[in-house]
Amino acid sequence: MKAYNLMKISFYSRSVNEGFARGALAAFLAQADPTVPELADMKTAVSEAVTNCIVHAYPQQVGLVYLTAALYEGGLVKITVTDRGVGIPDVKKAMQPMFTTGNPEERAGLGFAVMQSFMDKVRVTSTPGKGTRVVMSKTLSTKQ
C-alpha cells in the first residue's frame, strides 16, 4: 500500500521538541480531518514515543529523533518514531507496564502501555547500541 501523503522531520532529543513533534503531527494530520479525540490520541502516543527517545535513547547526550507520518487511503495513519540511541536489550520486557530503566521515583514505566492504549497497533524493534523504531498505526473514523 502506497501513502498518498508523507511527512518526515528530524529534531534534537531536547525536551522542548516533544511539543514541537506533537504540533507538527497535528498540522500534518489536519488534512485527514480526524476527530478531536483521534487527534489527541495520536498526539499523546507521539509524545510518549518522543519522550522515550529523549529520556532513554540518549541519556547522556543529545541525538536525533526522526518522526515520519504517512496517510493512506481508507483513513489509515502510520506514525514512526526512530532514534539511533542506546537501544533496548529486551523489547518484550520494556513493553510491560511499570517497567522503566529510568529512576522509578520519576518514571512510571507506562510509555509503551499509553501508546498501545491510544493506537490500534504498536510495533517496537530495537538493537542495543544502534537504536529503536516505534511504528504506530490508527484507522480514522472519517475515512478518506
Q: What are the residue numbers of the active site?
A: 48, 52, 107
CA distances, 122 to each of 65, 66, 107 (Å): 18, 17, 21
Q: Are 52 and 107 in contact (CB under 8 A)?
A: no
Helix (H), strand (E), coil (C) string for 39-74:
HHHHHHHHHHHHHHHHHHHCCCCCCEEEEEEEECHH
Q: Are 75 and 96 in contact (CB under 8 A)?
A: no
d(CA 48, CA 67): 13
Taken in order 62, 123, 89, 102, the sign of the CA dihedral is positive
111, burial (CB in 10 Å: exposed 0-12, middle 13-18, buried 19+): buried
